[in-house]
């Protein structure tokens, strides 16, 4: 059954290609009538320009006009509702405990902010910075004498 269906579809597709290439008598009559008229034959100017540039077998011209990429100013503007301000205020009293000789002065929130930063928890970056500084310190010692004299 599948073979018959495949055969029938392939014959129908081939027949469409063959029929599309037929030149009928009416096409010949239209061409003859067009060539016998005294008026000027008008051709597509874009096609003529493309033929002049690329010849008969050439690449298709690139379209530089792209209206679908231009911004449409007629679009409505989306207005989001404003978020309400939080009613709770975190005004904490100054926190100054003394432990191991370290005193914290000022607001507790201010002192805790360093623990909530990316730089504080980025151990890999800290390690890389430390290695880089060590290499730079040892750079002068590892430099050849011929280059040190040029300084």
Distance (Å, rounded) from C-alpha 43 to C-alpha 45? Answer: 6
- With residue 103 as reference, give the H or E element that holds it: strand 102-103
Three-state DSSP at 141 gives: helix
Distance CA 100, CA 84 (A): 43
pLDDT averaged over 10-residue windows placed end to end, the chain, 151 residues: 85 72 82 84 82 70 79 76 71 57 60 79 92 84 63 50
Phi-psi region of 135 (alpha: psi -120 to 50; beta: other; left: phi over 0): alpha
Rounded CA separation 105/97 (Å): 8
Per-residue model confidence (pLDDT) at position 101 = 52
* Per-residue model confidence (pLDDT) at position 2: 84
pLDDT of residue 53: 76
Contact 104, 111 (CB under 8 A): yes
Q: What percent of the chain has pLDDT over 90?
A: 7
pLDDT tens by residue, 97-116: 545 555 555 566 667 777 88
Helix (H/G/I), strand (E/B), else coil: 111: helix
Q: What is the pTM of this model?
A: 0.24
């Amino acid at each position: 059954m599948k073979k018959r269906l495949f055969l029938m579809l392939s014959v129908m597709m081939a027949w469409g290609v063959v029929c599309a290439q037929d030149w009928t008598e009416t096409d010949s009559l239209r061409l003859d009538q067009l060539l016998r008229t005294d008026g000027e034959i008008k051709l597509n100017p874009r096609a003529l320009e493309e033929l002049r540039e690329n010849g008969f077998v050439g690449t298709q011209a690139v379209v530089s006009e792209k209206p679908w990429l231009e911004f449409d100013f007629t679009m409505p503007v989306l207005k989001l509702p404003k978020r309400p301000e939080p009613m709770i205020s975190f005004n904490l009293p100054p926190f100054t405990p003394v432990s191991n000789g370290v005193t914290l002065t000022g607001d507790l929130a201010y002192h805790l902010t360093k623990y909530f930063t990316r730089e504080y928890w980025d151990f890999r970056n800290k390690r890389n910075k430390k290695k880089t500084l060590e290499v730079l310190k040892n750079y002068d010692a590892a430099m050849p004498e011929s280059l040190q004299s040029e300084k």
